[in-house]
Structure 1
Amino acid sequence: MSEWINSFVFFFAVIDPVGTLPIFIAVTSLHSEWQKRKIAMLAVAVAAGILLFFLFAGQYLLEAIGVPLSAFQVAGGVVLFLFALTMIFGEGKPEQEMDILKEGHETAIFPLAVPSIASPGAMLAAVVLTDNYRFDPVHQIRIATAMLAVLGIVLLLLLTANWIFRWIGNAGASIVSRVMGLILASVATTNVLVGIQQFFVV
């Protein structure tokens, strides 16, 4: 159970559901309520499909190009750590993706499904947490349920976005994003250490 919770927290940090709220509100500002619900469900469905693909087939893709999972884990941990630093010290997720919106990309697919929900960090997490050589299919299904639980929270937040954003405001979303960045930095460091250990053990 603790492993499921750890996976849930990991996915929650890299997906950052609260940080997606300002983006969703901006994207759907001119849409009706039923259109907003449709966009939210489409965005989460597309993100779920992408992440499930990486969860079940990502490692096979890496093996096809000759990249060991331990190397991918170290590289990914470094990238995640740098990404976490930008969440903590730089522009938060809401500010970064609001800049994307200024360029006119206002669809459910981009930037909502990718890269807001199915972020590069989430894709990496899906691969790293389901190592085919360390975990059996039952474990991988448990990880998938943790990821889907986070996506369920994302959908719930998007469906109630207007009410939530009135309560926490853009500043509140930015604070939550930075807290998630700190958690993500810790997880990224652990990934690097575990990846190095596995590389030399093998």
Structure 2
Amino acid sequence: MIDMAFLVTAFAALFVVIDPIGLTPIFVALTQGMSAAKRRALAIRACVIGFLILLVFALFGEAVLGFIGISMPAFRVAGGILLFLTALDMLFERRQKRRRDQADEEDEDDEDPSVFPLAIPLIAGPGAIATIILLVGQTEGPTGFAAVMGVLLAVLALVMVLFLAAGLLERLLGRVGINVVTRLLGMLLAALSVQFVLDGLRSFGLGG
């Protein structure tokens, strides 16, 4: 039986790391002038590719860590620190600027941004990869793995919905609204990242 509190935490962690609301303005910029059909195709392709990348890391990430001699508690602490840095970026607007720079660099000569930069690194970035490995590492058996994948699918479904409604959402929230939501998500991510670090340190203590 999967703990509901864990599912809520997993959803919150993946939501704030992938940041569907923060990705929406980037998607609007990358698809400016495209038809609704092409935007829809790009949104679906980006989300599918992002899911497949994260699925690979969910399946083999912990095995790779074990092969190179890194324990899950150590990775949990490192992942928590990484997520905390991401939270600082969100709180001080550095994350959005870096994402826009990445999008501009990749989009200069490419009319199809679904793989780069949407799927990689905007959806399946380092923070999302670290988070999915951490979450899978906290579960046991196929049921736990399936639950994490279900949460990931739910978050990516939200990404797709927001991509498809990008123009409307941008008009409703405005620049100020998007900035406020991004900062709130940054605060939540900071708290979750500290919890990851504490869990890792607690595991070290139990192991000793």
| TM bracket, shorter-chain basis | over 0.9
Indicate the residue corresponding to 1:129 in structure 2.
135
Q: CA deviation at 1:196?
A: 1.1
Secondary structure, aligned partner of 1:185: helix
The total of aligned residue pairs comes to: 200
Indicate the residue corresponding to 2:148 in structure 1.
143
2:115 aligned with 1:113, yes or no?
A: no
Is the contact between residue 84 and residue 181 of structure 1 (CA under 8 Å) also seen in structure 2?
yes
1:85 to 78, 85, 88: 88
1:102 to 101, 104, 109: 104
Residue type of the partner of 2:136?
T
Q: CA deviation at 1:104?
A: 4.7
Q: CA deviation at 1:56?
A: 1.8
Against the structure 1 CA distance between its residues 91 and 171, is the aligned structure 2 distance closer, same or farther, given a 3 Å change threshold?
farther
Distance 1:2 1:71 in 2: 23
Gaps of 5+ in 1: none
Secondary structure, aligned partner of 2:172: helix
Secondary structure, aligned partner of 2:32: coil
Residue type of the partner of 1:177?
T
TM-score (normalised: structure 1): 0.93
Indicate the residue corresponding to 2:202 in structure 1.
197
Is the contact between residue 18 and residue 157 of structure 1 (CA under 8 Å) also seen in structure 2?
yes
Against the structure 1 CA distance between its residues 154 and 177, is the aligned structure 2 distance closer, same or farther, given a 3 Å change threshold?
same
Deviates more, 1:100-109 or 1:165-174: 100-109
Is the contact between residue 81 and residue 185 of structure 1 (CA under 8 Å) also seen in structure 2?
yes
Is the contact between residue 92 and residue 174 of structure 1 (CA under 8 Å) also seen in structure 2?
no
TM-score (normalised: structure 2): 0.90
- Identity of aligned pairs, percent? 36
Q: CA deviation at 1:50?
A: 0.9
Residue type of the partner of 1:96?
R
Gaps of 5+ in 2: none
